[in-house]
Structure 1
Amino acid sequence: MDGAVVERYLRLGLQLGRHVDGIVDAYFGPPELAAAVEAEPAAEPRELVSSAEALLDELEEGWLRDQVVGLRTYAGVLAGEPGSYADEVEGCYGIRPVFTHEDVFTAAHEQLEALLPGDGPLGERHARWEQSIRVPTEQIERTIAAVIEEARVWTRRLVGLPDGEGVDLEIVRDEPWLAFCSYLGDLRSRIEVNVTLPMSAIELLVLTLHETYPGHHAERCCKERVLVRDRGLLEETLVLVPTPQSLVSEGIAKLAPEMLLEADSGAALAAVVHDAGIDLDLAHALAVGRALEPCGWADVNAALMLHEDGAREREVQAYLERWGLMTPELAAHVIRFLQEPTSRSYILTYKAGLELSRAYVAGEPERFRRLLTEQVRVGDLLEAGGGGAPTSSGV
């Protein structure tokens, strides 16, 4: 790839980041380029639209062009271009959100009825079950640190993690997200875990594997080694939220817990939780998670209700509590996430990314390794899934 073209892409992404904090998820490229962009007056969104369109005119079909389409879409949103919420999501990520019929959630609830027997509404029973395996707040940091060490061993066997990689764990409160992996470059990440809401043992396991090994941190440090250091692909030094890169990344991170917890390594990870005094039946917890999984599309429905239908927050909150089986606190947290400038369109990446990545990997660790080390496009995932959008998104 022409170095001048790559530099224009990096500059475009960094310039967009001047407008909305958090659009640039990570940058570990040439520091002089970032310093130059920071020293300039912020470019107007219309200028960034023009810059993106000029770049698209020069790019052939491929990973970088997909990225610039996402940036052009987001620049247009900042510039106030007309268009629907669904148009915005599709332009950024390459997948169009559609409303999932509640029959999908009803079927999931029926499976959960058998897994969570007892008195009272299903949502209350689910909440009681989660409470029964809740990790005390004061033990969360220590338990996550132990899970990280176990997960690192498995990931090293799969992909051969580069020497010197590692993560720093930080406990935070009152953030719009549950956890966050900030890739710092030089094979290091800062993992922030939000303990504002209660956390169950299975949530702790899933969240930790999602953010660290073999999820976000593993992807970023592997790609820094293989794509940036070995192949000189500087475009990989910039990680941007409103682009297809994020859908693939969230697909990897959402699939990561499944790769470990449903394999032989699951027993060792469950033992870490047991050492913290939590009586976790891992097989049962995984069965509950699989049954509940389709209800994740209720989050996408909630976004469409808010941003396309103009629904009021209290209506969306009630919807999430009913169909997503969320506590009032978690439903309110999701609504906050859906209203943040950096995440209002991002919600699709979790469910669509998981379904597409799962179809791509098809249970083969080698194909998961490819996700961690290669520039896999959303189109590649769609092709592996039969050429269509995720099938669980509608009926």
Structure 2
Amino acid sequence: MIIKRLIVGLMIVAGSVFGGCSSGYTNDTGKQMNPLAERYVKLALEVGKHHDYYIDAYYGPKEWQQQASKRPLTELAEDAQSLLSAIERVSPDREQQLRKDMLQVQVRSLLAFVEQLGGKQLSFDQESLALYDAVSGALTEADFDDALAELDQLLPGQGDLNTRLDAFQRQFVIPSDKLAQVFDAAISEARNRTKQYIELPSNESFTLEYVTSKPWSGYNWYQGNSHSVIQVNTDFDMQIDRAIDLASHEGYPGHHVFNSLMEKHLVNGKGWIEYSKYPLYSPLSLLAEGSANYGIEVAFPQPQRLEFERDVLFKLAELDASQAERYYQVQSVLSKLSYAGNVAAKRYLDGQINKQQAIEFLMKYALSDRNKSAQRIDFIERYRAYVINYNLGQDIVRAYVEPQADGDHDKRWQVFSQLLANPKSASMMQTRAGD
């Protein structure tokens, strides 16, 4: 999962070279923006004193973190309003326009989060728009009927789809004694593919840990200095496709790559200190989660993914590779049920259904078993509207990249990398995609 963070010319894409540091410190707009960015970072750290999960990563000046105090929420809201007014008065040059736009949307999100902490009630859609700059579409049960009917034809047996899917997928569970070997192979391949198109910092590294009793399946804890701790939750059996999903999403070209390059080139290179901290409940999360999910298919286009998993991962896990194509047919249809989680979250958090009804909805329309559905509701209770960042974020990033790539694989990597190099919120990506 998370986070999951650059500027045109900073990435090496298909043989190009990183540009040098820009004039972020020295030009007139930079001189105006830098103190405002510093105010934002310090304000975000103070908001983090009111919520344990708000600051997901921080690698700015240690003294700022040490000096952050738990001031009243009303004071934080007033400071956020004042900061927004100050940012609005800046007349940026072309280079700094994106910086100003992103700083504005980030501060607006911070203000909305502070107001929520202070008791302001927002609906699911209002919250997702205020915090993440996007709203998931209005869907009903009927929107998932075609996918359920298709699965009814694909899955062997008769009767309850959830039971049949569970029986089918048990054939593709990675044995616990093979999990480390399979995941190591997946993340090594994801890293090698990413390095063909993106130059990684020479000191980048990660530590892999297997954990239990978490509401998520995987997490990237970015530590700074191009190092991540990647945790994989083993509460439930892991099916073979999750190895590539987690290796790419949490690692390459997902959260680990995003964060380490942002630190090197935005924070250290340009001096844009606002990117030295990552607020979880912010518009940056939609890009982070959306690009990490979309990055899976960038690194592993479906035919290549099927070939690698059939020829390498299935064998390492000692699974029947002859069933790989059928397995991915089912997974492709299951992906059409992704937004069922958004519907369940919206109805549950808006009080339209209770917890048990939300679990039953997920069992029927997301086809997750009871235990996994309950774990998913635990995630929704903790992270609320954050759930839209995975599927809606992926779709927004894809809609931004694909028209510019025009079906060319190398171009897809280039546009994708440039998006990571120039962080944009959802509305900013949608405006460009609609041009």
What TM-score does the superposition give when structure 2 sets the normalisation length? 0.84
Number of the residue aligned with 1:49: 77
The unaligned stretches of length 5 or more in structure 1 are 388-395
Larger radius of gyration: 2
CA distance in 2 between counterparts of 1:274 and 1:372 reads 34
Q: Deviations over 1:228-248 (max 9, x none)?
A: 222221111111111110000
Matched, 1:272 2:300: no
Matched, 1:315 2:343: no
1:274, distance to aligned residue in structure 2 (A):
1.9
Deviates further, 364-373 or 239-248: 364-373
Number of the residue aligned with 2:347: 305
* Alignment map for 1:288-303 (pairs within 5 Å): 288-303=330-345
1:354, distance to aligned residue in structure 2 (A):
0.7
Q: Residues 152 and 213 of structure 1 are in contact (CA less than 8 Å); yes or no, is this contact kept in structure 2?
A: yes
CA distance in 2 between counterparts of 1:279 and 1:249 reads 34
CA distance in 1 between counterparts of 2:349 and 2:35 reads 38
Cα distance change, pair 78–115 in 1 and its aligned pair in 2 (3 A): same
Amino acid at match of 1:286: Y
Deviates further, 165-174 or 107-116: 107-116
Matched, 1:198 2:237: yes
* Alignment map for 1:328-347 (pairs within 5 Å): 328-340=370-382, 343-347=383-387
Q: Residues 175 and 317 of structure 2 are in contact (CA less than 8 Å); yes or no, is this contact kept in structure 1?
A: no
Partner SS state of residue 184, structure 1:
strand
Partner SS state of residue 199, structure 1:
coil
Q: How many residues align?
A: 382
Q: Residues 227 and 374 of structure 1 are in contact (CA less than 8 Å); yes or no, is this contact kept in structure 2?
A: no
* Alignment map for 1:196-275 (pairs within 5 Å): 196-262=235-301, 265-266=304-305, 267-270=307-310, 271-275=312-316
Matched, 1:3 2:45: no
Partner SS state of residue 62, structure 1:
helix
CA distance in 2 between counterparts of 1:115 and 1:204 reads 23
Deviates further, 27-36 or 278-287: 278-287
Q: Deviations over 1:256-291 (max 9, x none)?
A: 221233256523354134222123454444332322
Q: Residues 226 and 263 of structure 2 are in contact (CA less than 8 Å); yes or no, is this contact kept in structure 1?
A: yes
Amino acid at match of 1:330: K
Partner SS state of residue 208, structure 1:
helix
Q: Residues 240 and 313 of structure 2 are in contact (CA less than 8 Å); yes or no, is this contact kept in structure 1?
A: no
Q: Residues 286 and 425 of structure 2 are in contact (CA less than 8 Å); yes or no, is this contact kept in structure 1?
A: no
Cα distance change, pair 282–260 in 1 and its aligned pair in 2 (3 A): farther
Number of the residue aligned with 1:392: none
CA distance in 2 between counterparts of 1:272 and 1:9 reads 45
Runs of 4+ in 1 over 6 A off after TM superposition: none
1:310, distance to aligned residue in structure 2 (A):
4.0
* Alignment map for 1:122-141 (pairs within 5 Å): 122-141=161-180
Q: Deviations over 1:335-359 (max 9, x none)?
A: 101111xx11211111110110111
Matched, 1:380 2:428: yes
1:103, distance to aligned residue in structure 2 (A):
1.8
Equivalent of 1:159 in 182, 198, 211: 198
1:380, distance to aligned residue in structure 2 (A):
2.9
Amino acid at match of 2:79: S
Matched, 1:63 2:102: yes
1:30, distance to aligned residue in structure 2 (A):
1.2
Between 1 and 2, higher relative CO (CA 8 Å, sep ≥ 6) is seen in: 2
* Alignment map for 1:88-167 (pairs within 5 Å): 88-167=127-206
Partner SS state of residue 424, structure 2:
coil
Amino acid at match of 2:351: D
1:226, distance to aligned residue in structure 2 (A):
2.3
Q: Deviations over 1:88-117 (max 9, x none)?
A: 221001112443122221111123233323
Cα distance change, pair 377–293 in 1 and its aligned pair in 2 (3 A): same
Amino acid at match of 2:431: E
CA distance in 2 between counterparts of 1:345 and 1:323 reads 19
1:137, distance to aligned residue in structure 2 (A):
2.2
Matched, 1:35 2:66: yes
Q: Residues 359 and 384 of structure 1 are in contact (CA less than 8 Å); yes or no, is this contact kept in structure 2?
A: no
Amino acid at match of 1:14: L
Matched, 1:286 2:328: yes
1:332, distance to aligned residue in structure 2 (A):
0.3
Q: Deviations over 1:112-136 (max 9, x none)?
A: 2333233332222221222110012
Partner SS state of residue 25, structure 1:
strand
Amino acid at match of 1:141: A
The unaligned stretches of length 5 or more in structure 2 are 1-29, 89-99
Identity over the aligned pairs, expressed in percent? 28
Q: Deviations over 1:207-246 (max 9, x none)?
A: 2211111111111112222222222211111111111100
Q: Residues 104 and 294 of structure 1 are in contact (CA less than 8 Å); yes or no, is this contact kept in structure 2?
A: no
Q: Residues 286 and 393 of structure 2 are in contact (CA less than 8 Å); yes or no, is this contact kept in structure 1?
A: yes
Q: Residues 187 and 244 of structure 2 are in contact (CA less than 8 Å); yes or no, is this contact kept in structure 1?
A: no
Equivalent of 1:171 in 200, 204, 210: 210
Deviates further, 202-211 or 82-91: 82-91
Cα distance change, pair 263–101 in 1 and its aligned pair in 2 (3 A): closer
Matched, 1:77 2:116: yes
Q: Residues 202 and 285 of structure 1 are in contact (CA less than 8 Å); yes or no, is this contact kept in structure 2?
A: no
Amino acid at match of 1:54: S
CA distance in 2 between counterparts of 1:236 and 1:80 reads 28
